[in-house]
Amino acid sequence: MLRRSFLLFTFYFFSAAAFAQPSSQGNTGKPKLVVGLVIDQMRWDYMYRFNALYGEGGFKRLLKEGFSAENTFVPYVPTYTAVGHTCIYTGSVPAISGIVGNNWFDKTTGKNVYCTDDSTVSTVGNNGKAGKMSPDNLWVTTITDELRLSNNFKSKVIGVALKDRGSILPAGHSANAAYWYDGGKWITSSHYMTALPAWVEQFNAKDLAGKYMSKDWTTVLPIDRYDLSTADEKPYESVIKGEKTTTFPHKLSAIPDSFKYESFRTTPFANSFTFDFAKTAIENENLGKNTVTDFLTVSISSTDYIGHTFGPNSVEIEDTYLRLDKDIADFLSYLDARLGKGNYTLFLSADHAVAHIPAFLAEHKIPGGNFEDADLRKELNQMIEADFGVSKAVQSLQNYQVYLNISELEKQGKNVAAVKRAVIKTLQAKPFIITAFETDKLAATTLPEPQKTMLANGFNPKRSGDIQFTLKAGYFDGGAKGTTHGLWNPYDAHIPCVFFGWGVKPGKTNRETYMTDIAPTVAAMLHIQMPSGSVGKVITELIK
């Protein structure tokens, strides 16, 4: 009897102790860490175009073990960096979020506004102006904000990117930190903290950017393997600042010190450097070791700098993605070792894609071309001054929109409607412009889908221009060398969307999905509220 009582006591004691232990992340149905990985300027077709040369642990592993929404599109214009990062993490569009471009014109002040400008904060990390940034211009919450709100701010959220906008806008308003690159070092702003943590100071002291720039950029494979690219030397490619040639090997070690840290952005080593810092942040902030889910946002920016400079058919881009594939494989292995396979969720997407260089298209008898915003603005101002007697009536021309000085036109008693008609007539006379119309008359304008919906989603009455114009496919605002993005066309708007890890059922869908669907899908997986401006829908097929 005594023995039986002892055994019963032992059973109940250890049972009670077991139930008293805090539940693991797996038992609570949440991942330890969510990682948002945005590849700046990544076209969807890069997932497959270079697939034969990729290793098994990077893009191939994501596709094999994860879920790919193969037909994911940006649902608005302009398809620019700030807007894309905002949309991914808010599930919202410029009409609601307020982020209508990387830049826009503020009619109340008569000045251009940069998306993350904030004169009320100060730089933390150096004495420059690059840190006077915050998410203040963003009108809605992010999925990272909602995660923090869901558990009374117990979750840690950190953003990392070379570009300030690629770090700040994903990390959201309430983030613990957002870090970006300036002059070889990682900095932040007083929106987040008053001094850099010791671990960031220690990382900066290593001067890894300088060490990366001490070695030259050669192709990771023999250059004759790069048969998916044009010839290495093309007159329509631009150069890395401080170099005089567009060809391999890129003599980074010979770039003058005055350009070194800026030119670093246009190398694949800056992508590795970003992952270096992301891993250091995970370790020093103990991300994924919390009692609740943490969130790390990482944007890979150098793919954009390299793409703008050399174009999507260059050897440089092919080599960059082969190197990025290795970086991603290494990062996934790191997360496996640090957190355990299946204990984290990662999604990979892009803020936008990119157009071919028009001169490259011309080589192959494919239509395309470019123009300069400054030239078009000058012509419109000359026309208005000649016909209506008002100088500098066009205050700005950007985001394929014309901003008119309406108050000055009214002050001088001019017929504003007549001025708008004259501007539209001048624009429509251009061979590369299909149509032009007043932005507030979009609903009554005949346009095909999805173009009309994308324009509507991108129009914000407080921040958009007065007149919108659309272009023929293959045309954009920019110089004769290099390329850009920003339009509704699939080459700018078709992006990858892959979910991987905890809670993800492997597979794919070819139905049309949108960038706005990413945030509500994460919200559904985490059982939290979707962001305050979200218009997306859950990609239900991927949820395990």
Q: Looking at the annotation, which residues are catalytic?
A: 81
What tokens were used for 336? 């496996």
- Distances in Å between the Cα of 296 and the Cα atoms of 72, 258, 283 are 22, 32, 12
Cα 543 to chain centroid, rounded: 24
Alpha-carbon gap, residue 170 to 66, rounded angstroms: 22
Say if CB 174 and CB 209 are below 8 A apart.
no
**Which tokens hold the place of 195?**
């001094």
Q: How far apart are the first and last CA of the chain?
A: 50
- How far apart CA 162 and CA 274 sit, in angstroms, is 7
| HEC sequence for 315-343 | HHHHHHHHHHHHHHHHHHHHHHHHHCCCC
| Residue appearing with tokens 């346009």 | 447
> Given the structure tokens 């590795």, which residue do they identify?
272
195 by Cβ neighbours in 10 Å (0-12 / 13-18 / 19+) ranks as: exposed
Backbone angles phi, psi at 506, to 5 degrees: -60, 145
Whether 172 and 90 have beta carbons less than 8 Å apart is answered as no
Contact 354, 491 (CB under 8 A): yes
Longest CA–CA separation in the chain, Å: 110
